[in-house]
Chains A and B, each alone.
Chain A
Amino acid sequence: GQSLEQPSEVTAVEGAIVQINCTYQTSGFYGLSWYQQHDGGAPTFLSYNALDGLEETGRFSSFLSRSDSYGYLLLQELQMKDSASYFCAVRDLGGGSQGNLIFGKGTKLSVKP
């Protein structure tokens, strides 16, 4: 089956750097996505890695190692508004023509002043 593991909670201070890891087990693999969800809000797409390496988008970067079935989201220069839950997701290729997204349980990031 498909499964994704990520830490349940992470705490960091404003201005710091934090890394949220995600390991996955899938029967097939297209790529790894990351979503952000603030309390009471809708998940919003952050990034997608299909190839190994680091993808940078402003203060956020995402990394993928296909050989290790591992990825991470790196948040730099943390701001209070970054306090949210972060989900990694992969596409389930076990059934269906295109597969549906499988999400990790989410990592709740708390940024302290």
Chain B
Amino acid sequence: KAGVTQTPRYLIKTRGQQVTLSCSPISGHRSVSWYQQTPGQGLQFLFEYFSETQRNKGNFPGRFSGRQFSNSRSEMNVSTLELGDSALYLCASSPVTGEETQYFGPGTRLLVL
């Protein structure tokens, strides 16, 4: 079974731009969670989608948004990028919401200049 895939793997943007990241979960998994990882703050939860509905949201500004499609693929969008948004963005999937075992993708490394 193919693992979680994320595109693109690397991205360079400038302040003020917006960016869309994509995540394809493991086949059959309906829950997708997004995390931001930085050296200073570690792994921080952004949001979780299950069956096209946002189930939980972390403590991030409204510039961070996401959605999930009927095939469980998910996208996250960051508008009006700031330098501090430079990070590794990880998505993780699980069969259903609330599962303790999360399967992570390789991440998208975003650099904001």
**Residues of chain A having any CB pair with chain B under 8 Å:** 30-31, 33, 35, 41-45, 48, 87, 91-92, 95-106
Contact = CB atoms under 8 A, between A and B. Distances in A.
Which interface residue of A30, A42, A91 has the most chain B CB atoms within 10 A? Answer: A42
A43 B45 contact: no
B70 interface: no
B48 interface: yes
| Band of interface residues on B | 20 to 34
Contact of B90 (A42, A92, A102): A42
Contact of A48 (B35, B48, B101): B101
A98 B97 contact: yes
Interface stretch (B14-22, B79-87, B102-110): B102-110
Given A44-B104, A45-B102, A98 B42 contact: no
Given A45-B102, A48-B101, A101 B45 contact: yes
Contacts of A31: 100
Contacts, number: 59
Contacts of B48: 100
B43 interface: yes
By Cβ-Cβ distance, the 8 closest A-B pairs, closest first, are A98-B98, A96-B56, A42-B104, A103-B43, A105-B42, A100-B45, A100-B56, A48-B100
B68 interface: no
Nearest to A99: B56
A59 B57 CA distance: 36
Interface in B26-77: 33, 35, 42-45, 48, 55-58
